[in-house]
Amino acid sequence: MREFLAGGLRHATAFIDQAAMRANLALARSKAPHAAVLAMIKANAYGHGMLAVADCLAGHCEYYGVARLTEAEQLRAHGCEQNIVVFGHGYSANDIAMAAKLRLTPCLYSAQLLDEQLQQCHQHKLPFWLKLDTGMHRLGIPESASKCIDTALASPLCEVVLTHLHSADEPGMPSSKQQLQRFSEALKNSSKGNLERKLSIANSAFLMQASSPSGYANTLRSLLPAYAPEKEIIRPGIMLYGANPLAQAIADEKLLSPVMTMAAPVIDVKAIARGESVGYGATWRADNPGHIATIAAGYADGYPRHAENGTPVEIHGVRCPLAGRVSMDSIGVDISALIKSGVQVHAGDSAVLWGATLRVEEVAACAGTISYQLLTGVSARVERVNF
């Protein structure tokens, strides 16, 4: 990474550490070593570049997960032969036909659309996954809709039953345990629920809560009589990219390796007098004479518009505070303390907006948001450099 930053940057650049990504996937697999892994690469692989990430993780997981049919089409056009599950939205007759043509697996989630979609899947002999709603109330067949669940489970094309946990980041996971009980009851109450099928439950937060593989398996086994480790498919997402999905800091955070380093060049350095302001709205003023560095990255690149004054930015490995509002193409950084320490800053030097030593979670907190939004918000004009 140092050599990339030392070489000088022309514009905002996202450096993608592919070895770190594979290490994070290995960590996810270690939590449930007998399970298959579905790597979530939707939303341009959380901003990391979907096609490059698909190439990086090929052979390291059993499935890819995307949100849209168009994402899956891009993967197939790229030459990706991996099993691809499409989790979102719609599935018209044309969508089902396209999914069959491209060997994709749709995830069926709507009681209202189920009969028509099952008919289309049977027509094309297309396997599908079935999503149950156990409390998130976003997508999924309601747990109480036993007739719908029976109808879907009666199909030999139903390969996997899944649900989504809405609060897996809670300490102790009380809500997740309640959802798992509902999931178990829905299968138990179904006349077809005793048929052997694969289950998919664990997202990044649920996996990161597990202190050991045995603890993870015991948690699921205590709540799901039908649970069998070899019939599980885990769905890591944000943890693949090195961001901690948990609300509270835990020791495992150190085991997650940040994948993206977002960096940009210093494009100007100027002295500033006491009382002078920086940026739109004059929201920051210098308490003393000092120096401001202008960095060529702004909200058009994905740097958060609402990052507050004082948000850290690294220059020469030293944290310097954001000064003033974020502009479309640039930010101002107070480098006064760095200059006073004897370190010179020049146009052409590199600034790190987040990365290995300045975690994206910290920057997100300074902007009142989450790491997911920052990573997925890195714009198309930011070059991705894989190494």
Residue 280 known to be catalytic:
yes
Which residue(s) pair with 386 in the sheet?
16
CB 151 within 8 A of CB 115: yes
Cα 29-35-38 angle, rounded to 5 deg? 70
Question: How far apart, in whole angstroms, are the C-alpha atoms of residue 20 and residue 193?
Answer: 39
Cα 23-360-299 angle, rounded to 5 deg? 130
In which element (H, E) is residue 379 found? none
CB 37 within 8 A of CB 29: yes
Q: Which of 42, 64, 227, 303 is catalytic?
A: 42
**CB-based contacts of 251, cutoff 8 Å, min separation 6:** none
The amino acid sitting at 1 is M
Q: Are strands 13-16 and 104-108 parallel, antiparallel or unpaired?
A: unpaired
Residues 149/155/160/166 CA torsion (nearest 10 deg): -20
CB 32 within 8 A of CB 232: yes
Residue 42 known to be catalytic:
yes
Question: How far apart, in whole angstroms, are the C-alpha atoms of residue 187 and residue 129?
Answer: 14
Q: Which of 101, 147, 270, 280 is catalytic?
A: 280
Catalytic site residues? 42, 280
